[in-house]
Amino acid sequence: MIVVENLHKSFGDAHILKGISTVFDKGKTNLIIGQSGSGKTVFLKCLLGLFDYESGSISYDGKIFSQLSEDEKRDIRADIGMVFQGGALFDSMTIAENVMFPLRMFTKMSKSEMEDRVDFVLKRVNLSDAHHKMPSEASGGMQKRVAIARAIVNNPKYLFCDEPNSGLDPKTAIVIDNLIQEITDEYQIVTVVNSHDMNSVMEIGEKIVFLKDGHKAWEGSKETIFKTDNEVVTDFVYSSNLFKKVRRMYLDENQ
Amino acid sequence: MIKEMFRKPTKWSVMKHLILKDIEDLIIGSLGIVAFISFFVGGVITIQTALNISNPLIPKYLVGFATRQSIILEFAPTFTSIIMAGKVGSFITSSIGTMRVTEQIDALEVMGINSLNYLIFPKTMALMLYPFAIAVGMFLGILGGMAACVFGGYTTLDDYILGLQTDFDSFHMIYAFIKTFIFAFVLATIPSFHGYYMKGGALEVGKASTTSFVWTAVVIILLNYILTDMLLG
C-alpha cells in the first residue's frame, strides 16, 4: 500500500502539487487522471522518488520514503517497476537484453535462469518471438509491452505506468490496459497508472484520483465517475462528443 | 558529479562489459582518425620546416629535430585532444543526452541504479587508455615526417633520423603523457556533464554537443598553458 499525505511540490514560484493526500491499495489498478498540466507527471515522479518535495510524506508499506537511508531507498526501488510514456528502452540492447537488465543488475541468477525468466515474461506479454529485435525495430505497442515485461521481470511490489497507451491505436491501447489489469490481479501488486485516456478509466479504473491544477479534485472508481455531480470531473469526462452522447443515453435510461 | 560517480558502484560483472564496450567505441574507434591526421600533419610539419630553412649554415638534421619536438610536445597530446573533443566528446554528450531526453536515465534511477556511475565511470576508465592512442599518433606523426623527407627529397633519411635523436630529453615524453592523462579526464567528464544535466529535446541534444565541444577545447587549451608553465617553465 502506498500512502500519500499532504504532498506539496513547487518549481521556483510555480506551486505544482498543492496538498495531495490519497491511498493506493494493493491488488488494485489506481489511476491518476486529469488534464495536461494538472500535475499528474510531477505527482508520479514524486512517488518514484525522482523529484524531491517540499512537504508532506509518501510511505511504501509503512516506510516513509524521505526518512529512509540511501540503502533502504535502493531496496524499495528494487521493488518498483516503471513503464515510461515513451517506453525508455535502452537503444543499445535487444529486447531480451532490455528485459534481462534488472535481473543482471539485482539478482545472482545464472544466465540460463535469467533466460528462462525473460522467456516467461515475454510470453506473458505476447512477445515470444521478439527476443533478438532492437527497440527501434519494434512498433509502439510492442515497445510498451517490452517496457511492461521489463517492469515486472523482477517481481515488483509496485508498478507505475506513465500514460501507457499514449500514441497507440484504440485496439492496442485496450490490450495494454487489460495486460496491466491482469498483471495487477495476478501478482497482487500496487499499480499506479497516470492517464488522461477515458477508455483506460472505463477499462481499468478500480480507483481514480482526479487532479486539477495540482489539487485532488475528486476520488472514486470507474463505477462512480459517471455518476458524480462534481463539475470539474464532469467537464473533463464529458469533454468528448462520444461521452456526452453516452451520458445522455444513461440519463434517458434512468428517467 | 565526480564524487557521485564513485558512490554505489555497479556490479563488476556488468561494469566490465561497459568498460570494454567504451574502450571499443572511444579508443579503438578513434585510432583511424588519429592515425590519419597524425601521419599527414607530421608530413606537413617536416615540409614546412624544411622549406623555411634557407640559411645554409643551419644543418638539415634540424628538420627531424623540429618535427619530433612539435609532435611530441604539442601536436600529439594537445591538438589531437582538441580533435578528440569533437569526435569523442560529441559522441559522449549526444549519447548520454539522448538517454536523458528519452527517459532512459530516469529508468536507471527508478531501478535504483546510480546512473552517474553506470554511464560515466566506464567512459572515464576507457579513456585512461587514451595515452595509447596518443602514442600511436606520435609514432605515426614522426613516420609521416620521415615519409615526406624521403619521398619529397627535403632532406636525407640519415639526417632526419639524426635530428630525431639529437638532444632527446626523456622528460618531454613524461610531460606529454602527464598532459594526455589530464586531457583524457577532461574528455570524459566535461562532455558527460553536458549530456547528463541537459534539459529539453532533440534540438537541445545538438546544442549540448556543441557547447560541450567548446568548453572541452577551452579547458584543454587553458590546462595546456598551465601544465606547460608548471612542468617546463
Q: Complex ipTM, two decimals?
A: 0.78
Contact between residue A24 and residue A2 where contact means Cβ atoms under 8 Å apart: yes
Among B121, B51, B97, B78, CA closest to B221: B78
Residue of chain A minimizing CA distance to B110: A77
A75 chain-B contacts, CB cut-off 8 A: 112
Task: Give the distance from residue A160's alpha carbon to the nearest chain B alpha carbon, in angstroms.
Answer: 10
B85-110 burial: b if 16+ Cβ within 10 Å, else e: bbbbbbbbbbbbbbbbbbbbbbbbbb
Fold classification of A2-221 is: Rossmann fold (3.40.50)
**Inter-chain contact A50–B11, Cβ cutoff 8 Å?**
no
Q: Is A52 within 8 Å of chain B by CB?
A: no
For residue B120, name the pLDDT band (cuts at 50, 70, 90): very high
B44 pLDDT above the threshold of 80: yes
Joined grid coordinates for residue A171: 485496439
Q: Is A4 within 8 Å of chain B by CB?
A: no
**Inter-chain contact B107–A88, Cβ cutoff 8 Å?**
yes
Mean pLDDT value of segment B159-165: 92
Q: If you average pLDDT over every residue of chain B, what do you get?
A: 92
pLDDT in tens, B66-85: 999 999 999 999 999 999 99
Mutate to test the interface with A, among B17, B22, B91, B110 (most CBs of A within 10 A): B110
**Inter-chain contact B111–A102, Cβ cutoff 8 Å?**
yes
pLDDT of amino acid A135: 92
pLDDT of amino acid B186: 96
| Tens digit of each residue's pLDDT, chain A (255 residues) | 899 999 999 998 889 999 999 999 999 899 999 888 888 989 998 998 888 899 999 999 989 988 888 778 878 888 899 998 888 999 889 999 999 999 988 888 899 999 999 998 898 888 888 899 999 999 888 898 899 899 889 888 999 998 888 877 888 788 888 888 888 988 899 999 998 887 777 778 889 999 999 899 889 888 888 778 888 888 887 777 777 777 777 778 777
Chains A–B, number of C-beta pairs less than 8 Å apart: 53
Sorted by where each begins, the domain ranges of chain A are 2-221
pLDDT of amino acid B119: 93
pTM flag (> 0.80): yes
pLDDT of amino acid B196: 94
pLDDT in tens, B143-156: 999 999 889 888 88
Task: Give the distance from residue B60's alpha carbon to the nearest chain A alpha carbon, in angstroms.
Answer: 54
B112 chain-A contacts, CB cut-off 8 A: 73-78, 80, 106
How far is residue B159's CA from residue A138's CA, in Å, rounded to a whole number?
Answer: 63
Beta strands at A14-24 and A2-11: parallel, antiparallel or unpaired: antiparallel
Q: Is B24 within 8 Å of chain A by CB?
A: no
Sorted by where each begins, the domain ranges of chain B are 2-232
B195 pLDDT above the threshold of 80: yes
Joined grid coordinates for residue B170: 626523456
How far is residue A180's CA from residue A192's CA, in Å, rounded to a whole number?
Answer: 10
B174 pLDDT above the threshold of 80: yes
